[in-house]
Chain A
Amino acid sequence: MPAQSSHPVAAVLRGFARYALVAAFAGVFAIFAAIAPSFLSGANLLSVLVNNFTLLAIVAIAMTFAVSAGGIDLSVGTAIDFSSFAFVSLVLAGQPVPLAILGGLAGGILVGLFNALLISGIGISPFLATLGTLFVGRSAQQLLTNGGNPVYLPPSGIPEAFRLLGHGTIAGVPAPLVIAFGIIVVAWLILARTRFGRVNLATGIQASVVRYSGLALPRYTAATYVLVSLIAAVAGLIVTSTVTVYIPSSGNAFLLNAIGATFIGTTLDPNGRPNIPGTVLGVLLLSIVANGLLLSGLNFYWQQVATGLLIFTVLAIGFANRKAGARA
């Protein structure tokens, strides 16, 4: 085994690359603070958290569980949509809000169960299984909505309790942010500190060892994909409460950024493992970049290019570093 190179410059570079994500975050933060004075204002930072951060954070955390188990879930958007659709339909049918919320969560879980059947039952690779679910789900939504028409909640009929989910505050903090924070903490505990989280990680690293260790691999895998869709379903309910409408196949908007944030987050871990703090930092980075670019007055379309370049750079440094680490 070649020992690690002990050259001090190499060591410094490696240390820097390991924290590429933190450095990128700090750098971006400083630049925006310098060029857009309103960026640092409390109101703006809160708006970043509420408008850019919350929903993506929830979806990215869902994705983190799938990626940690060595898979991916391309159908998180479908779970969001099904949750939203089930909720809106139940409210329109005159059901009480708590029941509609449960219905919404169940709608999302349905997607997860379907994935679990395909991945854990039949043994299809997660990418292909959830890609299939995405397509079938899109078609199903179009059939359910007469070709893809949005379903509105009647302005008068929206129960106050539900509006709170998207618009209310808890102890002065916007409710969606509180929910997202709660999910972050619980997800972090589950992934880093529970038996389920450890097995989930081990599955992603070497599934056959999990099986040979006497752990019920299919059950863990199934639970992972159900959990992913359950978390995504919560995002679906918050979206619906915020915009009071269900738009077919709209949940996919989060997909690519959620994958991006999750993998950006893996650069934070020395072994490149998916992790909740990394994912959250990844989402924060994407969020402040979106907000800061908006404030900077840069052409709206250039903003997307800049965001893409930033993600690309963080990934490149993170992966190049891991490659160097593997070689050393």
Chain B
Amino acid sequence: MAAPVNVDQEDEIVRLSGIVKRFGGAQALSGASLAVKRGTVHGLVGQNGAGKSTLIKLLAGLHQADEGQIEIDGIAYGALTPPQVEHLGIHFIHQDRLLVPTFTVGEALFLGREPRIAGTPFLDRKLMRQKSAEILDRYFGLRLPNSALIGDLTAAEKQIVQITRALLDGPKVLVFDEPTAALVRREAELLFGLIRRLRDEGITIHYISHYLSEIVDLCDTVTVLRNGRDVATLPVVGTSAKDIGTLMVNRDIAELYPKPQVSLGEPLLQLDRLALADRYADVSLTLHKGEVLGLTGLLGSGAKELVRTLFGLESPTAGTVTIHGETVLCPNPAAATAKRLALVPEDRRRDGVALDLSVTENITLASLDRFSRAGLLDRAVEKRQASALIERLQIKTDSADALVRTLSGGNQQKVAIAKWLSRQSEIYLLDEPSVGVDIAAKVEIYTLIGELAERGAGVIVLSSDIEELLGITDRVLVFFRGKISRDFISAETRPEQILAEVTGANETLRHAG
């Protein structure tokens, strides 16, 4: 591991030192420091709850520090306000792209600083159109029709529009907050190229991400936050993702995946040449009792669509689904849950848990029948069941009646899983189960998946985190262009092999050979 860097103070454009921030009784930051050198790409990593977002919000002027000092360009500021931050040339590219979907690109770019036709109060739409087309083309090689609305653009295009908005102000520092969360890999690589180019033009980049590989690829320096303070600032050269990860969690990543040995039982779910229009075809597989099966593939490879089909959200166009040896049809989720299928969806906060229902109400939502006596809900039994599951899954909540909104991401995810445990589901479909969950909660969720298998359930995990998949599954099926391209035994496979299969590198080789 490399030694901490000594940054020349005069070269620092942003310097936060000894920042303390409390929310009520909870201490979000306890003496965190961060120094970003001019003209570099500086990464910031940390688990959820380490204080990343609080630190960024302080810099954005959205929170005020209780203690500590913020220096920008060598000038100290007690408290910052958002307009002041913008005035100082610091711009934020948010993960949820803040652009009006019904606006044209020109309108979105110039919102808040619209050009007027000289001598009139009217918008100069022609100038907005021309200027935005010119900037996008010259800077990014991006040509869009004049009438294109933001809502029509891809995630990457929207991001470019947002970066352009910031560039129009001649920024000194661009802060990217989880910019790749909604991008596919190639889009992300384009973004990285763009970021390097901006850096070469003298703009300082501050880059916050969950993905350590991105940090290693992209950044010059990285600061690791843990428990509200910075534990290290390192040059990225000579540092591996694993080193950074170890600093973040303070324990070895290998301990992450507690996979119990479970002997497989009888076949639970069998698919025979299942197909869905132009999404996937010829998918045959068997899931046994006690088995954890991994699926992975690029966006559009068909893996996600397969999971949706199994849960009745899409209707297959060919092939059969057999559960317990009986051919079944699941035209909707109601039919699927009746066959004891369970889905933990990727968009947890939209589809997985109801944020404004209580923990108990969420846990029992899919199994209300079990708590009905003569048509009325027996709330004592309902509460007992919920409390038992809260205990078993170690869901951290003030009470069983607290709104799920008040829980952390990991605990929300446990509630989403508990909902199906309460229904005594048998086949679990988990779509990206650990996204947006901190590492401690991840381990708990992995343990839970192992327990499900031990109790004889069948689990299908769809994930784009390949290490995770290999760590927690028995087998991994790779989807490529709508087909299962290969079947791996997890214990005997290295991540690179899967990665090659996922991206189709092997495909090319095979064709060439």
Contacts and interface: CB of A to CB of B under 8 A. Distances in A.
Is B a genuine binding partner of A? yes
Contact of B351 (A5, A193, A212, A215): A212
A199 interface: yes
Given A1-B406, A195-B372, A205 B357 contact: yes
B351 A208 contact: yes
A194 interface: yes
Given A3-B26, A189-B376, A214 B354 contact: no
A3 B23 contact: yes
A214 B368 contact: no
Contacts of A4: 24
A195 B377 contact: yes
A213 B338 CA distance: 11
Contacts of A213: 333, 337, 365-366, 419
Contacts of B357: 201-202, 205-206, 209
Given A199-B368, A209-B351, A214-B338, A1 B333 contact: no
A149 interface: no
Contacts of B356: 205-206, 271
B493 to A, nearest CB: 32
A298 to B, nearest CB: 41
Contacts of A271: 356, 403
Contact size class for A?
20 to 34
Contacts of A1: 23-24, 26, 406
Interface string B361-388: 1100110110010011101000000000
A172 B350 CA distance: 53
Interface residues of B, number: 34
A294 interface: no
A222 B185 CA distance: 43
Interface string A1-39: 111111000000000000000000000000000000000
Contacts of B352: 209, 212
Contacts, number: 84
Nearest to A204: B356
A194 to B, nearest CB: 6
B365 A194 contact: no
Interface string B207-232: 00000000000000000000000000
A45 B329 CA distance: 60
A271 to B, nearest CB: 6
Given A198-B368, A205-B356, A214 B26 contact: no
A194 B24 contact: no
Nearest to B344: A212
Given A3-B24, A206-B355, A215-B333, 7 more contacts: A3-B25, A194-B376, A198-B377, A205-B354, A208-B351, A209-B362, A215-B366
Interface of B: 23-26, 332-334, 336-338, 343, 345, 350-357, 361-362, 365-366, 368-369, 372, 375-377, 379, 403, 406, 419
Interface of A: 1-6, 189, 193-195, 198-199, 201-202, 205-206, 208-216, 271
22 contacts: A1-B406, A2-B23, A2-B24, A3-B23, A4-B24, A193-B377, A194-B376, A195-B369, A198-B368, A199-B368, A202-B357, A202-B361, A202-B365, A205-B356, A206-B354, A209-B350, A209-B357, A211-B333, A211-B351, A213-B419, A214-B333, A216-B334
